[in-house]
Structures are given as C-alpha cells and as structure tokens.
C-alpha cells in the first residue's frame, strides 16, 4: 500500500504542529528577541508608535508609509467605508439573534458581488480589494449590530481615523482619547500572526486561484471557532461568570479539575508567553485607573496567577483583549468580529503573497482505512 508507506508516524504532525507549510515575509515570531515582527518591525514598537492604518499599510505594501503615503492611505480607507444599499438591506434582514461571525462571513461574501475587481487576481487588484475590505468590514459589523438592536445604520465619518470611526458607527458617539488609543493598539496587535488557522485557510482557498473575497470569507469562517478567534468572547463570558476576584481561584480550580480549557490561556506557538498580552494587560490597568474600577483587571490577575501556578500556562492576547473590550463598553459578541476587522490586513497580505507566487496547496493524508477488498455485486452483499 503505497499511500500507507509514504506516511510514517514521524511524517505526520497532528494539527500540522511545527510543520513549515510555506515561506512568508509578512511576519515572524523572533525567538531571540522573544517578540513578534511584522515585516521586520517589533509589534511592541509598532503598537507604541503607529496607528492601525500605518500597520495595515506596512502589511500590504511591505514598508512603513511616509507621512504623505499614510495620509493618502487613510483618505482612501475613509472614502471607501460605505456599503452598497443591497448589502445594507441584506445585513439588516438577517434573522434576529444572528451570530455576528456568521453575519460577517455572509457580509464579506456579499462585498465580492459588488466589487468590480472581484475576479482579478493580479497584485494591484488584490491590494485595492484588500483596502476596500479593511474599510468596509467595520461598517458590516456595525450595520448588522445596530440592525439587531432595532437601530438604523450610522453613516461612516471619513474625517475620523479607523478606530474612532468604528466607535462612532457603533453608537453614534465619538470616543475619548484613551478608548481610541487602547482600541487602536488592540487592532495593531491583532493585525497579523503568521500561518494561524484562519490565515492558512485563506491561503489554501486562494491557492486554487480563487479570489480575495472568497479567501477572506473562508478566513472569517475559520476565525469563528473558540480555539482561535472565538476565545476572546469565551474568556469574557468566563470572567463574568466568575464575577469577583475572591471567587476566581475556586472557579479555576474547579474548571481544571473538570479538565476544562480556560479560554485565553495557552498558545500553539508561544510556549513562554504571548508578546502581545502584556501590552493589552497594561492598557487594561490604565483603563481601570481612568474608570476608578479595577474589578476586571483584579479578577483577571487572580485567574492568571492560578493558571501559572497550576498549569504553567501564560495568557494569550485574547485574555486581556476580553476585559479591555468589556471596559470600553463593547458588546461581547462583537469581540471576534473585531478581531477579524483587524486581522483582515494580515489575511490579505498573505493572500497577495500567495497569489504573487502561487502553488496549489495540496498536501496528502496518511491512510488508516481498510486494505483492498474485492467488490461484491449488490445482490451478494448483506
Ligand atoms: C490555543 C490552544 C488551542 C493551543 O493548544 P495546543 O498547542 O494544541 O496545546 P494542547 O491543547 O495540546 O495543550 C497542551 C496541554 O496544556 C493544556 N492546556 C492548553 N491550553 C489550556 C487551557 N487554555 N486551559 C487549560 N489547559 C490547557 C492541555 O489540556 C494539555 O494538557 P495535557 O497535556 O495535560 O492534556 C490551547 O492552548 C487552547 O485551547 N487554549 C484555549 C483557547 C484559546 O485561548 N485560544 C486562543 C489562541 S490565541
């Protein structure tokens, strides 16, 4: 049996753990510096000094923009946020109680129908489509969210930056400076992370010479799960269920005794801690100070200490993101769509890279089914 021989136990890595599935110049986890680099730049420095649009530009074009290039890029994003009326109508007509990741998956797919370059696969068209997706995804999210609350859509404000505009479209109010800064940093930190499940899904999709919108639709679908993007929502649900810092230790011990996974802890790649998590944790501390209420920060701290003591596990970015978003008043079921609104820049950068130098993704499986069996005619079976 050729297929069985071809796959020895050592060839196969469940979940493709540690397998090099492609070569990319978009990002890397720099183990020497113990950090994440986007196109060579440390995510810690990017989050301190750059706005999301600057980082999206870096991911799409490979270099940081000059001031003029950034202004042009922001202007372009700002002018492309609106949705065509049939897309608004479709988002508004989704059934009550819709899952927002399902809605976003549908919305991204719909965007493709109205994108005049949808079927073009060349580099320039892919970059333009990526910019439109970055511009329009927040509008899809706020449109469907508001419709579910019985509210009309808010028109985007082209004079606002990407993060401020999101809050404005969500609730019609311009947020304070710390909220914008914190949210924008979370967007920078969520923007890219190598060959994670959703990015890989986008790469596989476009490798058949399918298009950008199809690839991003697949990525949104993959991000939804709680082992990936869905963890930020599940982490907040857990923190709310725990309710107070003095209940946290017993709650975590009980969950671990039941062999439950604690959302927002552990990582397939980082085994000594996620570079991004302490940045958001510090912002959580600042938000607590600003609000004069450290409930969530303190509670999270206990969960963190117990997880380190019991399992030696660090938080990943989704854990502080959960309570930071909560403190900013964002609805829990939008946390994963917001991850998507940020990660679309990374997804698109990988799709562009793949289509610039494409080879169809077609791995093979090992086989553990039966060996050859002679076929019995229907009348002789049973
Ligand atoms: C992210 C994740 C899927 C990585 O998993 P992985 O590399 O496949 O690691 P495993 O799931 O095999 O876990 C290895 C061990 O750590 C434990 N573990 C890992 N994450 C854990 C968690 N969040 N809570 C409790 N135990 C955990 C596993 O139970 C396992 O223990 P065991 O060897 O005693 O069975 C996993 O850590 C997880 O499910 N985390 C929670 C979801 C999450 O936060 N996802 C967002 C990722 S950015």
Whether residues 252 and 277 fall in one domain: yes
- Asked whether residue 13 is assigned to any structural domain, the reply reads no
DSSP for 255-322 reads HHHTTPPPTTB--SS-SS--THHHHHHHHHHHHHHHHT--HHHHHHHHHHHHHHHHH-PPB-THHHHH
What is the structure's pLDDT at 268?
Answer: 85
- Asked whether residue 348 is assigned to any structural domain, the reply reads yes
pLDDT at 7 over 50: no
Q: What is the mean pLDDT of residues 155-183?
A: 95
> Domain containing 64 — which CATH number?
1.10.580.10
Q: What is the mean pLDDT of residues 361-382?
A: 95
What is the structure's pLDDT at 176?
Answer: 93
User: Is residue 382 very low, low, confident or very high in pLDDT (cuts 50, 70, 90)?
Assistant: confident
313 pocket-lining for ligand 1 (C-beta < 6 Å)? yes
> Domain containing 300 — which CATH number?
1.10.230.10
What is the structure's pLDDT at 3?
Answer: 43
Whether residues 167 and 262 fall in one domain: no
Q: What is the mean pLDDT of residues 68-77?
A: 98
What is the structure's pLDDT at 376?
Answer: 97
Whether residues 86 and 215 fall in one domain: yes
Whether residues 235 and 217 fall in one domain: no
261 pocket-lining for ligand 1 (C-beta < 6 Å)? yes
- Asked whether residue 106 is assigned to any structural domain, the reply reads yes
pTM, two decimals, is 0.93
Whether residues 57 and 199 fall in one domain: yes
Average pLDDT, the chain: 95
Whether residues 40 and 95 fall in one domain: yes
231 pocket-lining for ligand 1 (C-beta < 6 Å)? yes
Q: What is the mean pLDDT of residues 148-160?
A: 95
Tens digits of residue pLDDT in 80-130: 999 999 999 999 999 999 999 999 999 999 999 999 999 999 999 999 999
Whether residues 82 and 208 fall in one domain: yes
What is the structure's pLDDT at 333?
Answer: 96
Q: Would you call 350 a catalytic residue per the annotation?
A: no
Tens digits of residue pLDDT in 296-326: 999 999 999 999 999 999 999 999 999 999 9
What is the structure's pLDDT at 10?
Answer: 66
Higher pLDDT, 1 or 323: 323
> Ligand 1 test: best mutation among 253, 266, 311, most atoms within 8 Å of CB?
266
User: Is residue 270 very low, low, confident or very high in pLDDT (cuts 50, 70, 90)?
Assistant: confident
What is the structure's pLDDT at 151?
Answer: 97
Q: Domain tally for the chain?
A: 2
255 pocket-lining for ligand 1 (C-beta < 6 Å)? no
Q: Would you call 49 a catalytic residue per the annotation?
A: no
Q: What is the mean pLDDT of residues 317-342?
A: 96
Whether residues 208 and 235 fall in one domain: no
Whether residues 269 and 168 fall in one domain: no
Check if the beta carbon of residue 190 is closer than 8 Å to that of residue 169.
no
Whether residues 263 and 297 fall in one domain: yes
The residues that bridge with 29 in the sheet, in sequence order, are 36
The domain of 166 spans 27-175+191-221+341-356
Higher pLDDT, 10 or 90: 90
User: Is residue 235 very low, low, confident or very high in pLDDT (cuts 50, 70, 90)?
Assistant: very high
DSSP for 18-73 reads T------SSEEEETTTTEEEETTEEHHHHHHH--HHHHHHHHHHSSPPPHHHHHHH
User: Is residue 8 very low, low, confident or very high in pLDDT (cuts 50, 70, 90)?
Assistant: low
pLDDT at 4 over 70: no
Whether residues 289 and 247 fall in one domain: yes
What is the structure's pLDDT at 149?
Answer: 97
């Amino acid at each position: 049996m050729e297929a069985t021989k071809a796959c020895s136990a050592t060839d196969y890595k469940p979940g493709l753990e540690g397998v090099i599935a492609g070569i990319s110049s978009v990002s890397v986890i720099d183990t020497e510096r113990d950090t994440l680099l986007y196109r060579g730049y440390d995510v810690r420095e990017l989050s301190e000094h750059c706005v999301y649009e600057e980082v999206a530009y870096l991911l799409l074009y490979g270099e940081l923009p000059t001031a003029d290039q950034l202004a042009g890029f922001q202007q372009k994003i700002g002018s492309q946020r609106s949705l065509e009326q049939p897309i608004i109508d479709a988002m508004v007509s989704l059934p009550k109680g819709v899952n927002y990741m399902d809605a976003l998956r549908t919305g991204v797919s719909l965007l493709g129908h109205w994108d005049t370059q949808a079927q073009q696969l060349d580099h320039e068209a892919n970059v333009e489509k990526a910019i439109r997706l970055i511009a329009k995804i927040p509008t899809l999210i706020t449109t469907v969210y508001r419709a579910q609350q019985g509210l009309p859509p808010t028109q985007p404000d082209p004079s606002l930056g990407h993060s401020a505009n999101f809050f404005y479209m969500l609730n019609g109010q311009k947020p304070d400076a710390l909220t914008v800064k914190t949210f924008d940093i979370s967007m920078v930190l969520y923007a890219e992370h190598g060959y994670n499940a959703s990015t890989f899904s986008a790469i596989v999709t476009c490798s058949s010479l399918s298009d950008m919108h199809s690839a991003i639709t697949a990525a949104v679908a993959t991000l939804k799960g709680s082992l990936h993007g869905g963890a930020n929502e599940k982490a907040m649900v857990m923190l709310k269920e725990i309710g107070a810092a003095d209940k946290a230790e017993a709650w975590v011990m009980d969950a671990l005794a039941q062999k439950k996974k604690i959302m927002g802890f552990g990582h397939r790649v980082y085994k000594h801690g996620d570079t991004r998590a302490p940045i958001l944790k510090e912002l959580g501390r600042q938000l607590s100070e600003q609000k004069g209420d450290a409930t969530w920060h303190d509670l999270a701290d206990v969960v963190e200490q117990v997880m380190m003591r019991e399992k030696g596990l660090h938080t990943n970015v989704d854990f502080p993101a959960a309570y930071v978003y909560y403190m900013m008043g964002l609805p829990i079921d939008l946390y994963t769509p917001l991850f998507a609104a940020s990660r679309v820049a990374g997804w698109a950068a990988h799709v562009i890279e793949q289509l610039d130098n494409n080879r169809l993704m077609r791995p093979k499986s090992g086989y553990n089914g039966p060996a050859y069996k002679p076929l019995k005619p229907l009348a002789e079976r049973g």
